[in-house]
Amino acid sequence: MSSSLSRTAQVKEARITNHFSALPSYDERAWAREALHARYEDRLVDKFGYRQLVTYVPNKSEPIHNWFDYKEGFSKKLVEGLLVEFNARPDELVLDPFCGCGTTPLACQQLGYPAVGVDILDVAVFAAQVKLRTDYELHLMESKISELLAMPFREPESTFPDIRIIPRAFTPQTMQETLFFKEAILSESDEGIRDFLMLGLMSILEEVSFTSKDGQFLRLVKKEIPPVREVLGKKLWAMHGDLLGRGQKSLLYPASNTQPPTMVLRGDARHLPLDGKSADIAITSPPYLNRYDYSRIYTLELALLFIKDFEELKGVRHSLLRSHIEVKPSDTDEVHTSSLEEILSNLEGVS
């Protein structure tokens, strides 16, 4: 018995020895790390005055920006401050390659700067594109909201995808009401109005379910569930009020031929769809490494409109840029840098 354990220990020790012998020495790794830091040191600046603006919280009181609660985002005021600090000109293109629900391009649009946002998560891209539209016919929108909210309930023909959290997140009544409104909205022929109404429905799913986007998880919690029709009505009228400006100047950038081009595209940040163009300014926040699984946090929203079953949900999960440990490794994961090797070697054997 002891002999067997001894041989096992010897094999393990040999493997560890071989692993470390293949790595650069500590001095080499430390030098490489310091060289990397020195190379970019003049570009790294701590701005503690922005610390209250690097979260989504300030956006909760910002019209249009607060149409969809995207906790992993930063604030409109951060974008405004950085554009001033960068002395941005109206003809300079602003890029956000991880734009989430579109804070950077929307802030740029409202200030008159051209911007391109890119993201791979369908939920985020959809929310951003709806918020960026400037061609809504507001009187028709008002009529369509009233029409939708006045529709008598009928049994929906569709169902949610077979995903474990769905029946735990919704009461049977809430699930039926949500699907009823989804079907009613999808029957709308005007694309702009249809997407506007759908974003309203998508944005209330957390409120009408037993879920909470708590940090990096979608948690199940006990709470009172309000009627879907009531919450949806409140949300849609608030969104419509934002477009009207509530008696003040419209929040939409005035439509004209001179309006700066601002758009959000679905794409991979490693292959930016810029058609050979280059950006002058980048304002972004990359995915939190090995922390947030956006496909899990936004499962309800994905299930409402973008996926048909659990396999498609897994496909979304595996497409993300390793923001969590369940993403499958890709060819681009083979990275060999001395500073990274130092970190990995220090973590070896740490549970």
**Within this chain, do residues 59 and 129 fall inside the same structural domain, yes or no?**
yes
Strand ranges (E), 150-297: 211-214, 217-220, 262-266, 281-282
Q: Is residue 317 part of a domain?
A: no
Q: pLDDT of 77-116, one tens digit each?
A: 999 999 999 999 999 999 999 999 999 999 999 999 999 9
What is the per-residue pLDDT for 227? 97
**Within this chain, do residues 239 and 103 fall inside the same structural domain, yes or no?**
no
Q: Write out residues in the chain with pLDDT < 50, as ranges.
A: 1-5, 8-17, 19-21, 23, 247-256
What is the per-residue pLDDT for 20? 42
Q: Is residue 311 part of a domain?
A: no
Q: pLDDT of 120-136, one tens digit each?
A: 999 999 999 999 998 89
Tokens of 67: 């149409």
For strand 217-220 and strand 211-214, is the pairing parallel, antiparallel, or unpaired?
antiparallel
What is the per-residue pLDDT for 261? 81
What is the per-residue pLDDT for 1? 43
Task: Give the CATH number, domain containing residue 116.
Answer: 3.40.50.150
What is the per-residue pLDDT for 97? 95
What string of DSSP letters covers 269-305? GGG---TT---SEE---PPPTTT--HHHHTHHHHHHH
**Within this chain, do residues 106 and 69 fall inside the same structural domain, yes or no?**
yes
Q: Is residue 320 part of a domain?
A: no
Under 8 Å between Cβ of 117 and 99: yes
Q: Is residue 291 part of a domain?
A: no
**Within this chain, do residues 110 and 213 fall inside the same structural domain, yes or no?**
no
Q: Is residue 118 part of a domain?
A: yes
Q: Which domain does 83 fall in, by range?
A: 45-134+253-286
What is the per-residue pLDDT for 294? 86
Q: Is residue 210 part of a domain?
A: yes
For strand 217-220 and strand 281-282, is the pairing parallel, antiparallel, or unpaired?
unpaired
How many structural domains compose the chain?
A: 3
What is the per-residue pLDDT for 43? 82
Q: Is residue 60 part of a domain?
A: yes
What is the per-residue pLDDT for 15? 46
Q: Is residue 307 part of a domain?
A: no
What is the per-residue pLDDT for 100? 93
The structure's pTM equals 0.80
Q: In whole angstroms, how far apart are CA 288 and each of 24, 66, 205, 324? A: 28, 22, 24, 8
**Within this chain, do residues 99 and 60 fall inside the same structural domain, yes or no?**
yes
